[in-house]
Amino acid sequence: MTETTPTTLAAKADRYLWGHFARHGAGITPPIITRGDGVTIFDDRGKSYLDGLSGLFTVQVGHGRDELAAAAAQQARELAYFPLWSYATPTAIELAERLAHYAPGDLNRVFFTTGGGEAVETAWKLAKQYFKLTGKPGKHKVISRAVAYHGTPQGALAITGVPAYKAPFEPLTPGGLKVPNTDIYRAPEPLRTDAKAFGAWAADRIAEAIEFEGPDTVAAVFLEPVQNAGGCIPPPPGYFDRVREICDAYDVLLVSDEVICAFGRIGSMFACRDFGYVPDIITCAKGMTSGYSPIGAMIASDRLFEPFRDGTTMFPHGYTFGGHPVSAAVALANLDLFEREGLNDRVKGYAATFRSTLERLYDLPIVGDIRGEGYFYAVELVKDQATRETFDAAECARLLPAISAALYEAGLYCRADDRGDPVIVLAPPLISGPAEFDAIETILRGVLAEASARLL
């Protein structure tokens, strides 16, 4: 067997591994993460980093939880795999019941996938077929928001509002429409000081789009509770109440895309509860197992399932590993940890502390806005705090990689994101507290102060 060292691992990565959303060549070698413990990750040279992004908004309960590894091993011994194609397994049944219990309203039907993009794809396909079965076959279009990210499958990519991600794969699935997002920091001048008026304005753009396209052609609206791409954009007061009214008025389905926001990231199992609305569909993944095994789900209302209860009508859609028995067992153990350790209450209790700790960074000239909810925040970088002038594309291309590398070198793993205005995104594990918040702020301060002095 070939001896594995940091040097040989890096060489193998350069030769064989094709990274996701990654650049290759020109001497680029990816950092190699080998171990995790609590809120800390370690690279192949033994250096430690604070995981300020929960892997990828995923490791809610922290790294190295023996209970979750044990749940996977036990289920693999009993039944490692069986499909849900006209069959069922005990763990999938139990997990479906558990998710339905957490979901609001009559969202009681759980369709399992292996990830979030698949869950979004599933939701759009269900919306199309549902309206065909209920006598409205023209309703097939979907509305989502500018800069929003909803996944990479062809359908989900059509819902995504990030042009750079879409261009290489066009033409996409037809029917994806875009409306403005709810970034009040970049809102038109008269609306910046009135969050409720801005929320009503943004929601009414959805009604405007439905009217323009024709209500008989629009099937669904896909919205994240807090929009990730663009930098943790929360909803203004009253926004989702108005969106729900619009969807009801036009018989359009409201899909709450909670791939990131579910499972405690905002403070509840499903973030729609945090913002007081009941969608027709929830899509989720990531934190369901805290990343210890892959799984995703679409949770639909009883109303949407009704046309499929006649004994003959099928939803002709599925995935080989959807609802995998091992992943479902890990999810159940993960949710047990949530309840036993009160993680949702922990987020609600410490969210204000996280916010106020980050807000100390406002004394740095490069910090324009700090926004988010729960354990999900972004720091927007600007040239000028007073005018909110942003960096152009060429400047971002130099600035963000340098800041990302400096943060990582200083011991913080997080995300410098340019899908919109430049931001640093933070989403620590839900077991984090004031000590971790202070460490994040200290590292950010050092790196951003140096960037401010150099650039501004």
CATH number assigned to the domain comprising residue 435: 3.90.1150.10
Q: What is the mean pLDDT of residues 309-314?
A: 97
How do 33-37 and 40-43 pair as beta strands?
antiparallel
Number of domains making up the chain: 2
Measured between alpha carbons, how far is 376 from 266 in angstroms, rounded to an integer?
Answer: 7
Same domain, 383 and 285: no
Same domain, 316 and 365: no
Sequence-ordered list of residues with C-beta below 8 angstroms from that of 188, at least 6 positions apart, any chain: none
Asked, for residue 2, whether it belongs to a domain, the answer is: no
Angular region, 105: left φ>0, alpha ψ -120 to 50, beta rest: left
Same domain, 267 and 186: yes
Same domain, 238 and 372: no
Asked, for residue 166, whether it belongs to a domain, the answer is: yes
pLDDT digits (tens, 9 = 90+) for 179-230: 999 999 999 888 999 999 999 999 999 999 999 999 999 999 999 999 999 9
Q: What is the rounded radius of gyration, in angstroms, for the C-alpha atoms of the chain?
A: 22
pLDDT digits (tens, 9 = 90+) for 332-364: 999 999 999 999 999 999 999 999 999 999 999
Same domain, 324 and 368: no
Evaluate whether 289 touches 332 at the Cβ level (below 8 Å): no
Same domain, 305 and 449: no
- pLDDT for residue 63: 98
Same domain, 195 and 257: yes
CATH number assigned to the domain comprising residue 181: 3.40.640.10
User: Residue 442, Cβ neighbours under 10 Å: how many?
Assistant: 15
Residue 16 has pLDDT above 70, yes or no: yes
Asked, for residue 21, whether it belongs to a domain, the answer is: yes
Asked, for residue 310, whether it belongs to a domain, the answer is: yes
pLDDT digits (tens, 9 = 90+) for 132-183: 999 999 999 999 999 999 999 999 999 999 999 999 999 999 999 999 999 9
- pLDDT for residue 190: 87
Evaluate whether 93 touches 290 at the Cβ level (below 8 Å): no
Q: In the listed set 287, 316, 341, which residue is the last one of a domain according to the structure?
A: 341
Coil/strand/helix, residue 290? coil
Same domain, 100 and 201: yes
Asked, for residue 4, whether it belongs to a domain, the answer is: no
Same domain, 189 and 231: yes
Asked, for residue 94, whether it belongs to a domain, the answer is: yes
Confidence of residue 6 (pLDDT cuts 50, 70, 90): confident
Same domain, 357 and 311: no
Same domain, 335 and 381: no
Q: In the listed set 296, 314, 341, which residue is the last one of a domain according to the structure?
A: 341
**What are phi and psi for residue 53, nearest 5 degrees?**
-130, 10
pLDDT digits (tens, 9 = 90+) for 161-170: 999 999 999 9
What is the span of the domain harbouring residue 16?
A: 9-64+342-455
Same domain, 58 and 151: no
Mean confidence (pLDDT) of the chain: 97
Q: In the listed set 312, 341, 370, which residue is the last one of a domain according to the structure?
A: 341
Coil/strand/helix, residue 239? helix
Confidence of residue 4 (pLDDT cuts 50, 70, 90): confident
Asked, for residue 377, whether it belongs to a domain, the answer is: yes
Tell me 143's DSSP state: E
Decide: pTM greater than 0.95.
yes
Evaluate whether 32 touches 47 at the Cβ level (below 8 Å): no
- pLDDT for residue 334: 98
Asked, for residue 3, whether it belongs to a domain, the answer is: no
* Residue 58, token pair as written in the block: 């995923």
